[in-house]
Amino acid sequence: MSLDCKPAMVERKEADDQPSFREQFCVPFLLRAQNSDGGWGYRPESESSVEPTAWATLALRQKAAQYPQVIERANQWLLQTQRTEGAWPASAGDPGCWVTGLACLALLDRANSPGAEILKGLQWLSDSWPAEGNVWWRLRQRWHKSPDTVVHQDHALRGWGWTPGTASWVEPTAYILILLRNIPERFYPSGTSKRRQLGEKMLSNRVCPGGGWNAGNPMVYGVPGEPRIGPTVWALLALSDNLNRPESTASLDWLERNYQHISGPGSVALAHLCLAVYGRPVPPLEPRLSSLYMENNFLSNVVVAAWACLALGTVPAWLGSAPAMEIEA
């Protein structure tokens, strides 16, 4: 089922006489916050970083025709920031890490084949295994007190970590699965299909009892973990190509129940977007976001503004279920 047919689920105010909150605040904020080098920092006038640049690009790309130069400058910054091995760093000079999936997603033009830089990033992601479950890790478990007895999860199901050489976690795995869903399998480097399957199984394995996800430990010392909005949203969006997974249904129910209690604008926007993607009824987002904006100006956070833009616009094509070129065709 293609999710591209669902944009009506998301409210829109562009057609109204009054400029929408998105057009009046979010988009101008993002446009003003772009640095002269083409990237975005987490806050205006801070150094460009990959994550805010990727989210701002994805948010503004919904209306790319209006801001072609903005998008082009952002793409150039992302291309210049890629490391020689294909990964992207969180900040300049750092090693490659979780933001690689977001950078690839931001650069991906769904109407065309993925470019060489994306394929290089994909290769790095495919080769980048988390450290849990490898031979050394298993040997250590035999000699030391095993975390297996503490956290009760299947460490053979490996996704992706935030940083190389660490464990799998829900959010980075979800970001990369969303990227992979947007690239036809014929472009996958060897072994990537298997990694995608493992990543999906890992997410299913890490769901909290009763639904929803936290960072990635659903049970610690026998106590069920408390789900969190962000990981739940991203896991659901990563698994949205199959709407009938039992863990997805339970998690959507949890998200729906907790929607009214969310206190942060970033989480409100993400939850709204996710419920809309799954076709669940959601109350209007704009009044709530504009009210939260009045409190703290989103703490001038570029990522939050970008998520607000995404949630207030049409469901972006990259959150659809089918690979890119098959949708666009």
* CA dist., res. 18 & res. 316, Å (int): 23
Is 161 an interacting residue with respect to another protein (CB under 8 A)? yes
One DSSP character per residue, 116-171 reads HHHHHHHHHHHH---STTSHHHHHHHHHS--THHHH---TTS----SSTTS---HH
Q: Does 98 interact with another protein (rule: CB under 8 A)? A: yes
- Contact flag: residue 172 with another protein (CB under 8 A): yes
Task: Provide the 3-class DSSP secondary structure of residue 223.
Answer: strand
Of residues 140 and 194, the one with the C-beta less far from another protein: 140
Per DSSP, helices labelled H in the chain are 21, 27-33, 50-60, 68-81, 99-107, 116-127, 135-143, 148-151, 170-181, 192-205, 229-238, 246-258, 265-277, 286-296, 302-312, 324-328
CB neighbours (10 Å) of residue 231?
25
Scan for tokens 């969190």, then name that residue: 228
**243 lines the binding site for another protein (CB under 8 A):** no
Query: Residue 292: helix, strand or coil by DSSP?
Result: helix
Q: Which is nearer to another protein, 46 or 314 (CB)?
A: 46
- CA-to-CA dists, residue 63 to 69, 166, 257, 274, 309, angstroms: 12, 37, 32, 20, 11
User: Per rule CB under 8 A, is residue 213 in the interface with another protein?
Assistant: no
Cβ distance to another protein smaller for residue 166 or 321: 166
Q: Of 165 and 246, which CB lies nearer to another protein in the complex structure?
A: 165
Q: How far is the CB of 217 from another protein (least distance, A)?
A: 9
Nearer to another protein, 285 or 303 (CB): 303
Q: Rule CB under 8 A: say whether 143 interacts with another protein.
A: no
Size of the site for another protein (CB under 8 A): 52
Single out the residue of 313, 235, 297, 329 nearest to residue 59, CA to CA. 313
Stretch that binds another protein, among 64-72, 165-173, 180-188, 272-280 (CB under 8 A): 165-173
Is 300 near another protein (CB under 8 A)?
Answer: yes
Q: Which is nearer to another protein, 4 or 94 (CB)?
A: 94
- Residue 327 CB, nearest distance to another protein (Å)? 29
Shortest Å distance, C-beta 210 to another protein: 15
Contact 97, 160 (CB under 8 A): no
Q: Does 247 bind another protein (CB under 8 A)?
A: no
Q: Is 192 helix (H, G, I), strand (E, B) or coil?
A: helix
Paired residues of 220 in beta bridges: 223
41 contacts another protein (rule: CB under 8 A): yes
Please, which residue, 206 or 245, has the CB nearer to another protein?
A: 206
| CB nearer to another protein: pick between 38 and 172 | 172
Residues that bind another protein (CB under 8 A): 41-43, 46-47, 49, 51-52, 90-91, 93-94, 97-98, 131, 145, 150, 161-163, 165-167, 169, 171-172, 214-215, 220-221, 223, 225-226, 228-230, 262-267, 292, 295-301, 303-304
